[in-house]
């Protein structure tokens, strides 16, 4: 008896490994938009969770940003139910609250925050230990390319983590099983399984940075040859190991220093890469949004230690402020 299509097998293997690696066994939730990536993920999760004796449901987030979004969400939910996922919820968030321009995270960042908040709430309601998303190898490569364009540090270039806490809740994991799976494979998997994915018109709208990165990668592959996507994704994996090691050193330094204010002399003795991670750690803890906190911000804080000549405070996103008073460095909300 012939086995499944190679693309279907690839998606199932990716999900099987993910489910086996979760630190806590329990119900999981697939974040499904109805697109090829998330629909292939829903199919693979329904198949593998059943074999593993796990409960698997789905959550469909409707941002209400496009005409017909309710219909698209309802069809995605029905497709998840037909695959055997249960329970399946459609969660609506206020698309009008997503800013179109101006200060803040921008429309993409704001929509992402709203989506993850809705997914976390759904996971808590349904008792899920993990939310699975359909980010693919191409998504990872696009993330790295955007980080390069912005001049971001190693953590940004390390791309998306395969597993991390969802929001501030360490009990619910955000899991990305498909970071090693190509987008073409998810499309092929849907076709082989007779699934009809939805095509999001926003995925072709050059107003969005991620779409521009996607178009740029096509051009780069034409000029540099195939393998660019895999190379960028592989670089992200290698950089993630380096960034994790530096994060551990930074965490130990934070424990040794205690909460700010810090003695400038003690902080100056740390390597620059560790100092920048300290600034970021405290800024995030004080409410500075990670999507807006850039390497330029962190370098400006560092000059208060390395090149201070009486300059005033450094203002960070989220109304967080860094200032130096004599031999002490203060970092937090005024």
At residue 131, does pLDDT exceed 90? yes
Residue intervals in the chain for CATH 3.30.465: 258-332
Q: Which of 132, 179, 236 is nearest to 10 (CA)?
A: 179
CATH architecture of the domain 258-332 equals 2-Layer Sandwich (3.30)
Say whether 20 sits in a helix, a strand or coil.
Answer: helix
Instruction: Map tokens 């920048």 to a residue.
Output: 276
Average pLDDT, the chain: 89
Chain centroid to CA 85: how far? 24
Residue intervals in the chain for CATH 3.40.50.620: 6-136+158-200
Packing angle, helices 137-150 and 183-192, rounded to 10:
160
DSSP structural state of residue 85: -
Judged on CB neighbours under 10 Å (0-12, 13-18, 19+), 225 is exposed
pLDDT given for residue 93 in this prediction: 87
Task: Give the global pTM.
Answer: 0.82
State the binding site for ATP: 33-38
pLDDT given for residue 221 in this prediction: 87
pLDDT given for residue 152 in this prediction: 66
At residue 102, does pLDDT exceed 80? no
The tens digit of pLDDT for each residue in 169-213 reads: 788 999 999 999 999 999 999 999 999 999 888 888 888 888 898
Q: Which of 100, 91, 45, 84 is nearest to 69 (CA)?
A: 91
**Across 313-320, average pLDDT:** 93
- Residue 178 CB partners (closer than 8 Å, separation 6+): 11, 14, 37, 40, 41, 134, 135, 136, 137, 186
CA distance 5 to 9: 6
- Residue 107 CB partners (closer than 8 Å, separation 6+): 98, 99, 100, 101, 208
pLDDT given for residue 223 in this prediction: 87
Q: Report the range out of 18-22, 78-82, 147-151 with the highest average pLDDT.
A: 78-82
The tens digit of pLDDT for each residue in 227-248 reads: 899 999 999 988 888 888 999 9
State the binding site: 33-38
**Across 78-106, average pLDDT:** 74
Task: Put residue 194 in one of left, alpha, beta given phi > 0 → left and psi -120 to 50 → alpha.
Answer: left
**Across 95-118, average pLDDT:** 65
Q: Homologous superfamily of 6-136+158-200 in CATH? A: HUPs (3.40.50.620)
Judged on CB neighbours under 10 Å (0-12, 13-18, 19+), 23 is exposed
Say if CB 172 and CB 129 are below 8 A apart.
yes
User: Alpha-carbon torsion 35, 38, 41, 45, what sign?
Assistant: negative
Beta bridge partners of 61: 91
- Residue 277 CB partners (closer than 8 Å, separation 6+): 246, 247, 249, 250
Size (the chain), residues: 334
The tens digit of pLDDT for each residue in 46-73 reads: 999 999 999 999 999 998 777 788 999 9
pLDDT given for residue 101 in this prediction: 39
At residue 104, does pLDDT exceed 50? no
CA distance 89 to 126: 10
- Give percent above pLDDT 90 in the chain: 64
Tokens of 59: 């959550």
Longest Cα–Cα distance of the chain, Å, equals 77
Tokens of 77: 């939910």
């Amino acid at each position: 008896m012939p086995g499944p299509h190679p693309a279907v097998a690839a998606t199932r293997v990716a999900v099987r490994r993910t489910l086996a690696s979760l630190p806590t066994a329990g119900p999981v939730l697939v974040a499904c938009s109805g697109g090829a990536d998330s629909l292939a993920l829903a199919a693979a999760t329904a198949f593998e969770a059943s074999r593993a004796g796990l409960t698997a449901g789905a959550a469909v987030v409707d941002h209400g940003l496009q005409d017909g979004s309710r219909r698209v969400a309802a069809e995605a939910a029905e497709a998840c139910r037909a695959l055997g996922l249960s329970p399946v919820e459609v969660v609506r968030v206020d698309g009008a609250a997503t800013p179109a321009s101006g200060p803040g995270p921008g429309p993409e960042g704001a929509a992402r925050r709203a989506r993850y908040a809705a997914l976390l709430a759904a996971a808590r309601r349904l008792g899920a230990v993990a939310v699975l998303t359909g980010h693919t190898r191409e998504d990872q490569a696009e993330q790295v390319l955007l980080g390069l364009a912005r001049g971001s540090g190693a953590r940004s270039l390390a791309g998306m983590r395969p597993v991390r806490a969802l929001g501030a809740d360490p009990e619910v994991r955000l899991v990305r099983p498909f970071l090693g799976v190509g987008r073409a494979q998810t499309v092929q998997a849907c076709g082989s399984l007779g699934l009809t994915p939805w095509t999001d018109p926003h995925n072709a709208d050059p107003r969005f940075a991620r779409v521009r990165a996607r178009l740029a990668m096509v051009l780069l592959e034409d000029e540099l040859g195939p393998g660019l996507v895999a190379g960028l994704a592989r670089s992200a994996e290698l950089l993630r190991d380096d960034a994790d090691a530096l994060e551990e050193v930074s965490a130990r330094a934070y424990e040794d220093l205690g909460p700010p204010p810090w003695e400038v002399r003690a902080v100056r003795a740390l390597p620059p890469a560790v100092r920048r991670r300290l600034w970021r750690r405290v800024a995030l803890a004080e409410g500075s949004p990670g999507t807006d906190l850039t390497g330029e911000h962190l370098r400006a804080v560092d000059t208060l230690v390395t090149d201070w000549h009486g300059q005033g405070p450094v203002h960070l996103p989220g109304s967080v402020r860094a200032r130096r008073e004599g031999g002490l460095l203060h970092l937090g909300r005024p």
